Each structure stands twice: as C-alpha cells, then as structure tokens.
Structure 1
C-alpha cells in the first residue's frame, strides 16, 4: 500500500472546488491535515461555510478547517458569483454543519500544521493564493516543512478573466507573484489543461444515477456557469488531485513564469519560453492531460463513495 500524501488544501468553494473536495475527503490516499478557506469565488464567510458543509456531508468532521483571507493583499476583492452562484454551491441543500472553523486564522493554522508534522506536507492551492503568500511572508521558516506546492491557476495560452489572466491569479496577482518566486517546488495546473479536462455530458449523466454524492454533484453542476452540459464542464480544481495520484497522465514543461501585477495584462502568467530573461526555471507547468483518463478516473472515484459515507441533504426547490 502506498504511503498517504499529507496535504493542506487551500480553497474557495465554488462548485469545482466542491468537486475536488469530494475526492480529497473520500480518497484514502490523502492524509488531510487541514483545509483553509479564502475569498475567491465567493466571500470568505461563504467559502468557509461551504467547506464545513462538505466536511459534514462526507462525515469528515475530523478534518480541521480554518478561515483565511477575506480580501487580496493589495487589490479590491471581486467574487465570481456569476459563475458559482451567490452561495458558491447552489442547487443542493446541505445539512447544517456540526463543527466550526478553528479559532485561529488560516495562516497560523497552516504554520502550526506544518511545523508539527513529522514529515513534509504538500500544499494544494485552488483559490486565490493570498493565504499562501501571507504564510511565506509572515513565517518564511515554514518553507522547510513544505514538500511541494500544487496550484490551480495561471495559463500560458489565454485567460478566463481577461484575454491573458486566469481567475485565481487575477484575483490576487501580488500573492501569486510571492508564491511563484518563493523558490518552492511548484507545479502549475492551469487553464492549459483544465479547459481540456472537461467532464463529458455522458459522464455527468452517469453521476446523477450513481449515488447520493453523484446526485449532489449533478445539482451543483447544473448551476455551474463554466462550460456547458452539452460540451462538458471544466473541473479546474479536481485536476490538482488527479495530478497527485496520476502524474503520468500529464505532460509538464519547466519554465520561469512571471506574474504581471499591474497594467492591462494584470494577472497574466508569462513564461520565459526562449530563456531570454532567466537562466533558470521556477514552475513545472502542466501543458497536456489525458482527458479520457481524467473522465474515467473521476467516475470511478465517485462510484467508490457509498451512501453510508454521507449525511445526505436534499435538492433545492
């Protein structure tokens, strides 16, 4: 049996975040040390509540949850409720969580989880990178306890917020710059692959007939403003976990990647492809993914979740 992967998961649920948390909380390959929330898709109050709803849904109240940053480091905060709905997870009425977020904030919770861990921990960030940037700035000594960082963010092939900027980086480009230039081992799972790894309509139809978890996800997906039910829905954040479990399904290229923090290209992630300005690299960039394998894997993961593993809620009227 493979050793479990110790993980701190930083997130802003968000519908595709919920799809990722579904795997994180139910797959025994992950040793979830902490889940932290951040303002992104919706406000941090809502993202924190959404994490707690999901830990309760999957009967994982043992997983600690910490509330994170309520706004970017420098810029004004703007949500993505137009994509994820006002609550961040519309379409399904979850039971009221029985646990609360920790009394300390996400940065201190991350630091404590890292320095008390007997082994290095993988950080997975699928929202704005504000919490991570604060951690590295306030507690630089935490870096020696981090195995690697997997981020959903960025793009070398065009953006989804502007022509060049992806949402998570665009939301807090100053934080992304700090993280990208930290010297940590960072893998960028950006739009270059997540807009290819779409959940196909036939897969989603199968999900809805599978179990309580599949029904819950399908109700969320029906309110998800990204992609379409016909062409498929991008599961951006899920790809980080697929990469951790099946890295051979991805094609990576090492580049030096700069983050633009001002001007009309703010939020852009620019790779020095020709090595004109840097003689080294800082990011492993995912450039391709096995889409068929992704769809088959996600279906298999959800199929493994039996109804006894969840506190089922109900569909919204």
Structure 2
C-alpha cells in the first residue's frame, strides 16, 4: 500500500489528541510533520501537549513550532472547554524537546513538501494561520499539495459566536487565504462534529482498548461543552475520517467565503451550495454508526500498533 504523505497543523486540545493518535498509526498515512499552533490554548501548551503525546505513543514524527498568534487579530482561547493546558483529564509523561526541528514552520513545511516524491495532504484541525503563512510565503508550494482537509467552518450557527465556528473565528484572514489557495479542499464543518458522536457504552469499549483507549476515555470524559450536551461529540477526528473513511460522509460542492468585516458576523463561514464556482467539498451529513465504528476500530489499531 502506498501511504499518503500528511502534514498536521493542530492545537491540542482533547479532540486534536484523538485525531493525531488515529493519524499517527493509520496504515494509510505517512505523517511527515506535526505543526502545533496557538488555538484551543496558547502555543506553549499545544507544543508541549504534542510532544507529550508522541512520548506516550512512542512515535518520532518531527515537530515544528507553529504560529503563536493569529495573522491580524488578538488570540482567543477555549480553555474553558479543554482545561487550562488543553488536555484536562489525563497526566501525560513530560517530554523533552528532542523532536522539535528548528526553523520557521512555513519554511520547513515548504522544504518537506517540495522534497516529497508524492504530493502531500495538509490536515488542518486548528486555526489555519500556519497554512496561510505557507501559501503567502511560498505560493509555488501548491503544485506539490494533493489537498487540504480541515475541521472548521459552519453551515448554520456557530460555537464561538452565533454565526462563527471556533477554528475559523480564531483567524478568519488565514482561513480566507487557505480557501482561496486554489487547492482541492475538503471540509468537516461544525454540524458534522455535532452529529458524529460515540455513546457512553462505546466510550467504555474505547476505554477497554488499553492504555491508548484509557487515555482518550479520560480526556473525553472531561470535555465540558458550553451547551451542556452530554453526548461525546467528536470534532477534529471527523477531518481524519474524510481521508480514511469517506464512505461515512455525504459531501457537496460549495463556494466558501469567510466574513472578515462584519460587526456581528466576523469569522462566519458563508457557504454557498448554489455557486457555479465552488472552491471546496463540504460534508453535509455523516452516517453516525459507520463513523463510530471507524473511530473505535482506529483507536483499537493505535493500541495494537503502539510499541
């Protein structure tokens, strides 16, 4: 099997940890680089969380330090949902910085992508600041990129503001750059994460997988949704699902534009499914049973592959 080269931009965050864990052990993927960025919590936490996860999983994927703030705006935070450090509920072993590759994220991503014999897929499960910097600094990089797959945007109501989803609202200017990159894009919007979920019984099945399952069970049990919804909703792994389990999703072509100037709508995703000039495929539905089955099997695979 030819593995798909992958770079991950992430802001862990509990659900980011699940998405990275699945990706690092997926037989179909070759994770070349992880770029922690500001997002759910500050960069110093997301960087350490990434390193700690790799130590726990015994993986050695290079880590590149990403952006510590949005392109233009002040940073926002989701610490109230994910805990102060971003990963409430589980104590990881503290890792050193030996996996950190020195240099600017945009430059190091550019070199990795240009030197790859196969086109690279970009997975974005946090604010898109680093990918926007990559495209602005090195516009020719798009020739070596297969597609961009993100968890972000919203078709209807938002979770950061009434009309804006968190990852996009965090850096709307960066998101607009990425959506106008000319690259093939797949989007798992907020609505898909709201629908994709595992039950409490399924979470017990995950917990029984072993150390990896227990880690994820502990963290997901500590997510505090602002709306008080008791379901275990799965957000960032839905973007990985678009790559590895596409049969679970229904996608529609759309033109996605990001509101940059609205007084009450800044950061909103304007998704036009009637556009004659689409720039993305947006997931509009998910088969919850298929997704949950894939998600659980992916965690079981991670447990089996973890050395």
TM-score bracket for the superposition, by shorter chain length:
over 0.9
| Alignment match, 1:64 | 62
Q: Does residue 269 of the first structure (1) align with residue 269 of the second (2)?
A: yes
The DSSP-based 3-state class of the residue aligned with 2:216 is helix
Instruction: Provide the aligned length of Structure 1 versus Structure 2.
Output: 305
CA deviation digits over 1:126-149, x for unaligned, max 9? 000000000000110111110000
Q: Retained in 1: the 8 A contact 2:253–2:273?
A: no
State how far apart, in whole Å, the 1-side matches of 2:302 and 2:133 are: 35
* TM-score normalised by L of structure 1: 0.92
Map 1:290-301 to 2 at 5 A. Answer: 290-301=287-298
* Structure 1 residue runs without a partner (length 5+): 311-317
Structure 2 distance, partners of 1:60, 1:46, is 19
**Structure 1 residue 157 and structure 2 residue 174: aligned?**
no
Give the C-alpha shift of residue 307 in structure 1: 6.8
Q: Is the Cα–Cα contact under 8 Å of residues 11 and 125 in structure 1 kept in the other structure?
A: yes
How large is the Cα RMSD of the aligned pairs?
1.7
Cα displacement (A) at 1:229: 9.6
How has the CA–CA distance of structure 1 residues 145 and 307 changed in structure 2, closer, same or farther, with 3 Å as cutoff?
closer
Bigger mean CA deviation after superposition, 90-99 or 239-248: 90-99
**Shift, 1:232, TM fit:** 1.8
Question: How many Å apart are 1:227 and its aligned residue?
Answer: 7.5
1:144 is aligned to 143
CA distance in 2, matches of 1:65, 1:303: 25
The answer on whether the counterparts of 2:186 and 2:242 sit within 8 Å (CA) in structure 1 is: no
- Where does 1:160-309 land on structure 2 (aligned, <5 Å)? 160-226=159-225, 231-263=230-262, 264-275=264-275, 279-306=276-303, 309=306
Instruction: Give, in whole Å, the separation in 2 of the partners of 1:307 and 1:114.
Output: 30
> Do 1:212 and 1:307's aligned partners in 2 also have CA atoms closer than 8 Å?
no
Name the SS of the counterpart of 2:154 in structure 1.
Answer: coil
TM-score (norm: length of structure 2): 0.95
Residue in 2 aligned with 1:108? 107
Residue 313 of structure 1 corresponds to none
Poorly superposed stretches of 4+, deviation over 6 Å: 227-230
TM-superposed CA distance for 1:230, in Å, is: 7.6
Does the 8 Å contact 1:156/1:270 carry over to 2?
yes
SS of residue matched to 1:20: helix
